[in-house]
Chain A
């Protein structure tokens, strides 16, 4: 399973990418494989305030629907509109074209609570 080294992760299988104060969010390769074919993604409105560990989006596969938790607190500054017409991007390109949203982080200290790649790899072992 692909677990890029430069990203941080949550136990609930979201990844987070630091982009100079902004944090890009998606679900891991492992997660997309487990939930199988994604059929719908529900994203928040740009401008919405989110809190670390709280649900900020929903992903639905043929299996079930799952909450996506915000890896950091802050304000949503971008969402991946392409997912509304092409939810399969989450399966095809979980770390690039299939990202969910970008958060303007309000508390950089929270970043440290996220799992480094090697810890996440152990988790999904």
Chain B
């Protein structure tokens, strides 16, 4: 285990030197009320510069990322993040801008953002986009506020949102936060919607149905046109969760399926870094009839350049300061332009091909409840192993021993002992073969000698963590940790 800085701290060591004060000494109590001042010095670790640097360098070597390993974390679309995107977002012409600069001096950035909005419209089949939301779930929330504003303007009091039980947890959470009541509906074994059930559930209270297409089991919603028809006949809107856009990118458009509103996740579909490497971003797109409710400011193209438009009476207002998380948006735009229409089509085709290839091997090892074909990801059930005492969690931990990040486990909730694998388009056949053979090896271990899989991981800096204790009695401060 790498020791914490507090543990290697020695009184008097430091990595900085402060020059003599060359301004008159002032008493701080003159400026800050005594009650707001601390009475004792903070207990900061005291270490030398080389020690500090070695500590962080050692930690950095433990990073696990797409730049070091395969990362088949289902639902997350952990695709490779090309460094050229970072380089472009750090160009001084972008990085040194100040959001309070005059519009006239921000023209380059505004042109870029406008271009990204137009590209997203073309890719998704929507009519207008806002780039403001700061993350995917924030995009959902923004979308739901727009849905609320739409019905308010129509004078309809629709208070409920239909969310299938295969949805990402953020869907019901965002809808609840926006003040809607959630109507969960059971999906079929392949995660697709039960048309009859939807028809029965629809009534004049339903504002929208939130859908992920393909769904969280990696299956394309075959009845989507029919669902769109009955939803719209009922006066309800259709919300597209862009989580799985990577599966259809360049080949099909949510706008053409009948979706009225959607968000995209640039960190999934457009190769920007995920949370932790964040910040995130969650642009929201709408069809014409919802455009007047988009957040302000809206970027408009005029004869002589770009303007920020604030005077939109029916707008839901601001959802974030300034223009959104701009560096993320620059990276996403760079990716879109670098690949172009043909490249983006190839992305989804290769992602689907990779997932199907891996599924074709792994389905021999574990049941795949949604069938033999998938879109960009698939879900296996480790139930046969669990019945013999080795659970999805154990298999996931054993994968760490072999140097792999584990797939998503126990999601979606509708599959017992779920293991959700998403290889993405950026992996080679060799890499997929290697992963499949390790997976098969672990299942053989589980059958021959369950203990080898259960008592894992063994090669990681720390062994199996006690998740239950960590949740029940978390130690949140170093000072409280057992020494």
Contact = CB atoms under 8 A, between A and B. Distances in A.
A60 B468 CA distance: 11
A62 B469 CA distance: 10
Interface residues of B, number: 6
Q: Which of B410, B467, B472 has the most CB of A within 10 A?
A: B472
A87 B469 CA distance: 11
Interface in B436-483: 467-468, 471-472
Interface string A16-30: 000000000000000
B472 A88 contact: yes
A64 interface: yes
A88 B466 CA distance: 14
Nearest to B411: A64
Contacts of A39: 468, 471-472
Interface in B127-182: none
B471 A63 contact: no
A64 B413 contact: yes
Given A39-B472, A88-B472, A62 B467 contact: yes
A29 to B, nearest CB: 17
A64 B410 contact: yes
B410 A63 contact: yes
Contact of B472 (A63, A64, A87): A87
B413 A62 contact: no
Contacts of B410: 63-64
Interface string A72-87: 0000000000000001
B413 A37 contact: no
A40 to B, nearest CB: 7
A10 B421 CA distance: 33
Q: Is the interface of A mostly helix, strand, loop or mixed?
A: loop
Contacts of B413: 64
A64 B471 CA distance: 12
Interface in B215-245: none
B216 to A, nearest CB: 14
Interface string B78-95: 000000000000000000
Contacts of B468: 37, 39, 62
A61 to B, nearest CB: 9
A67 to B, nearest CB: 9
Interface string A33-49: 00001011000000000
A64 B413 CA distance: 9
A78 B471 CA distance: 26
Contacts of A64: 410, 413
B390 to A, nearest CB: 15
Contacts of A87: 472
B324 to A, nearest CB: 30
Contacts of B471: 37, 39-40, 60, 62
A121 to B, nearest CB: 18
A60 B226 CA distance: 36
A37 B393 CA distance: 13
Contacts of A60: 471
Nearest to A55: B182
Nearest to A36: B468
A37 B471 CA distance: 10
A78 B472 CA distance: 23
Nearest to A87: B472
A39 B467 CA distance: 9
Interface string B42-75: 0000000000000000000000000000000000
A63 B467 CA distance: 10
Nearest to A39: B471
Interface in A88-121: 88
Contacts of B472: 39, 87-88
A39 B469 CA distance: 8
A64 to B, nearest CB: 6
Contacts of A40: 471
A20 B472 CA distance: 35
Nearest to A86: B472
A66 B471 CA distance: 16
Contacts of A88: 472
Nearest to B471: A39
16 contacts: A37-B467, A37-B468, A37-B471, A39-B468, A39-B471, A39-B472, A40-B471, A60-B471, A62-B467, A62-B468, A62-B471, A63-B410, A64-B410, A64-B413, A87-B472, A88-B472
Given A37-B468, A39-B468, A62-B467, 8 more contacts: A37-B467, A39-B472, A40-B471, A60-B471, A63-B410, A64-B410, A64-B413, A87-B472
Interface of B: 410, 413, 467-468, 471-472
Top 7 nearest A-B pairs (CB, nearest first) are A39-B471, A37-B468, A62-B467, A63-B410, A39-B472, A62-B468, A62-B471
